[in-house]
């Protein structure tokens, strides 16, 4: 009798469980082409590329650049270049789940700027911060690259794909913070994800209507460049990467490099390089935290 009621309860339990499961994960890619996604990342291989388009070009002018991801075995090489940003400015950068970059039609408060809050309604929360350690969302989070005296930077990280994915599948300890973890059975891929770059010089005056992000100012978080990651089909899957990085290739729209006018930027003011303090060489830790 005992055995019988145990079996009965087990059957009831599993029946209820399977009834409760939602079948929603497979049906949300309405118009987008099929993306390379899987639970274990097995079909992520070879080269992926995102060409940058400039966001808020009336502030930034043109910012060509690109993100390259290359997976070979467990080895993931991440390489990012940005040109002609502001001098010595730290650039927060991350991969987001969203499928497209923000445009001026996402300017919700109609102030003529796409701020980080408006950008995030398009791209979602941070999935992979391109920081000092890609094997973990949390580790290395205070490191971000800084533009050189010409406003250029390149960022390069070698990481373990399996560690990165394992970390992304860990429990999300804080559903209210800026970081997102993947659900247990949520498919993952680089294809179609979005990379967003933030940060302009403190010499630039942004109106108060431009939102910042928590403790970070609107200057630090101002979105400047964005790209949608696509599989690069010229590199057959599984071949060893030859070290050649495609790019710099940016999408430049007509008049995108028109400099800012009006009260946005202090007119005619030169941004002088800071006095020689060479000990950090861009490997700077964040002051607060």
For Ca ion, the binding residues (CB under 5 A) are 107, 109, 111, 113, 129, 131, 133, 140, 172, 174, 177, 179
In whole angstroms, the minimum distance from the beta carbon of 111 to Ca ion comes to: 4
- Nearer residue to Ca ion within complex by CB, 107 or 284: 107
- Nearer residue to Ca ion within complex by CB, 129 or 247: 129
Instruction: Copy the structure tokens of residue 152.
Output: 């250029």
Q: How far apart are CA 49 and CA 42, in angstroms?
A: 19
Q: Give the chain's radius of gyration (CA, Å).
A: 22
In whole angstroms, the minimum distance from the beta carbon of 114 to Ca ion comes to: 6
- Nearer residue to Ca ion within complex by CB, 209 or 258: 209
Q: Are 60 and 177 in contact (CB under 8 A)?
A: no
Instruction: Copy the structure tokens of residue 267.
Output: 């007119």
- Nearer residue to Ca ion within complex by CB, 15 or 109: 109
Nearest to 196 by CA among 78, 59, 97, 106: 97
Q: How far apart are CA 176 and CA 96, in angstroms?
A: 16
- Nearer residue to Ca ion within complex by CB, 15 or 142: 142
In whole angstroms, the minimum distance from the beta carbon of 60 to Ca ion comes to: 15
- Nearer residue to Ca ion within complex by CB, 83 or 190: 190
Q: How far apart are CA 275 and CA 113, in angstroms?
A: 32
The helix (run of H) or strand (run of E) holding residue 51 is strand 46-54
In whole angstroms, the minimum distance from the beta carbon of 193 to Ca ion comes to: 16
In whole angstroms, the minimum distance from the beta carbon of 212 to Ca ion comes to: 12
Q: How far apart are CA 82 and CA 24, in angstroms?
A: 38
- Nearer residue to Ca ion within complex by CB, 83 or 179: 179
231-254 in b/e form (b: 16+ CB < 10 A) is beeebeeeeeeeeebebbebebee
Q: CA angle at residue 191 from 140 to 77, to 5 degrees? A: 40
In whole angstroms, the minimum distance from the beta carbon of 17 to Ca ion comes to: 26
Q: How far apart are CA 113 and CA 210, in angstroms?
A: 7
Instruction: Copy the structure tokens of residue 231.
Output: 């599989």
In whole angstroms, the minimum distance from the beta carbon of 167 to Ca ion comes to: 8
- Nearer residue to Ca ion within complex by CB, 9 or 285: 285
Instruction: Copy the structure tokens of residue 260.
Output: 């800012």
Nearest to 183 by CA among 13, 14, 15, 24: 24
In whole angstroms, the minimum distance from the beta carbon of 30 to Ca ion comes to: 26
């Amino acid at each position: 009798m005992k055995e019988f009621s145990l079996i009965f309860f087990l059957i009831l339990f599993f029946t209820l469980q399977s009834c409760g499961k939602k079948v929603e994960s497979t049906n949300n890619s309405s118009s987008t082409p099929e993306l390379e996604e899987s639970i274990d990342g097995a079909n992520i291989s070879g080269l992926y590329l995102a060409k940058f388009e400039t966001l808020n070009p009336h502030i930034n002018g043109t910012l060509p650049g690109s993100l390259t991801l290359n997976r070979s075995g467990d080895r993931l090489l991440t390489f990012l270049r940005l040109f002609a940003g502001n001098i010595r400015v730290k650039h927060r950068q991350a991969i987001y789940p969203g499928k497209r970059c923000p445009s001026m039609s996402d300017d919700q408060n109609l102030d003529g700027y796409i701020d980080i809050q408006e950008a995030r309604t398009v791209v979602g929360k941070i999935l992979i911060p391109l920081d000092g350690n890609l094997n973990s969302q949390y580790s290395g989070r205070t490191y971000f690259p800084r533009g050189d005296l010409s406003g250029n930077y390149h960022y390069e990280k070698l990481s373990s794909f399996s560690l990165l994915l394992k970390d992304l599948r860990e429990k999300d300890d804080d559903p209210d913070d800026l970081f997102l973890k993947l659900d247990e059975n949520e498919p993952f891929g680089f294809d179609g994800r979005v990379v967003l770059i933030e940060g302009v010089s403190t010499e630039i005056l942004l109106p108060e209507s431009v939102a910042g992000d928590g403790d970070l100012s609107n200057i630090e978080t101002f979105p400047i460049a964005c790209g949608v990651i696509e599989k690069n089909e010229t590199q057959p899957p599984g071949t060893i990467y030859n070290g050649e990085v495609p790019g710099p290739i940016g999408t430049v729209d007509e008049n995108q490099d028109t400099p800012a006018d009006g009260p946005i930027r202090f007119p005619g003011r030169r941004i002088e390089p800071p006095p020689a303090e060479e000990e950090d060489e861009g490997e700077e830790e964040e002051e607060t935290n």
